[in-house]
Amino acid sequence: MRIGLYPGTFDPVTLGHMDIIERASKLVDRLVIGVAINRDKGPLFSLEERVEMIKAECASITDTEIVVHPFENLLIDCARDVGANVIVRGLRAVADFEYEFQMVGMNRALDNTVETVFLMADARRQAIASKLVKEIARLGGDVSQFVPGDVEAQLMEKYGR
């Protein structure tokens, strides 16, 4: 069985994330969405909110089994925990590649049985970053072209709009 792990903070889940999830779901038998508990990033949404957002947005994906799995350990340990033999990462720009290149090297040193595959972001989604989406929403801008409708409503609620 091919099990993929797509990790991220997903604070919040964006249309860019959903594009990668939908495409990755066609490549594996089970796709685990690893929701990182990253206290250093100070997420806007709680872990429970992020998990529920992803579950709701992935409910209509039928290409493969989708599992949402919070984690706080090393990514490679999370991959082992869920039985993943492939880590899925999305790339938007050259800056993403430089960081991801380092991560692949470290993960391969820790466990060379887990492969990493990169999916290029759809051209329409390359500029989307959760950090920027939150900033636009905080300042009262329109984020409807960057996040699913339900996520937009939750963002507006967080910022009292």
What is the CATH number for 63?
3.40.50.620
Catalytic residue of the set 25, 50, 125, 130? 130
Residue 112 domain-assigned?
yes
The Cβ-side half-sphere exposure at 16, using a 13 Å CA radius, reads 25
Residue 134 domain-assigned?
no
Residue 147 domain-assigned?
no
Does the annotation mark 55 as catalytic?
Answer: no
User: Contact, 114 vs 132, CB < 8 A?
Assistant: no
**Residue-averaged pLDDT of the chain:** 93
Catalytic residue of the set 17, 89, 125, 134? 17
Residue 153 domain-assigned?
no
Q: What is the mean pLDDT of residues 6-31?
A: 96
d(C-alpha 27, C-alpha 63), whole Å: 9
Q: Is the pLDDT of residue 38 over 90?
A: no
Cα angle 129, 87, 134; round to 5: 15
Q: What is the mean pLDDT of residues 129-137?
A: 94
Residue 142 domain-assigned?
no
pLDDT value at residue 157? 94
Helix then strand then coil, in percent of the chain rounded to 5, is 45, 20, 35
Residue 54 domain-assigned?
yes
Lowest-pLDDT range, 19-23, 67-71, 119-123, 138-142? 119-123
Residue 47 domain-assigned?
yes
Residue 70 domain-assigned?
yes
Catalytic residue of the set 23, 69, 92, 108? 92
Host domain of residue 66: 3-123
Structural domain total, the chain: 1
Name the pLDDT band for 75 (thresholds 50, 70, 90).
Answer: very high
Q: Is the pLDDT of residue 25 over 90?
A: yes
User: Contact, 130 vs 18, CB < 8 A?
Assistant: no
Does the annotation mark 17 as catalytic?
Answer: yes
Catalytic residue of the set 2, 26, 41, 131? 41
The Cβ-side half-sphere exposure at 53, using a 13 Å CA radius, reads 27
Rounded percentage of the chain residues whose pLDDT exceeds 90: 81
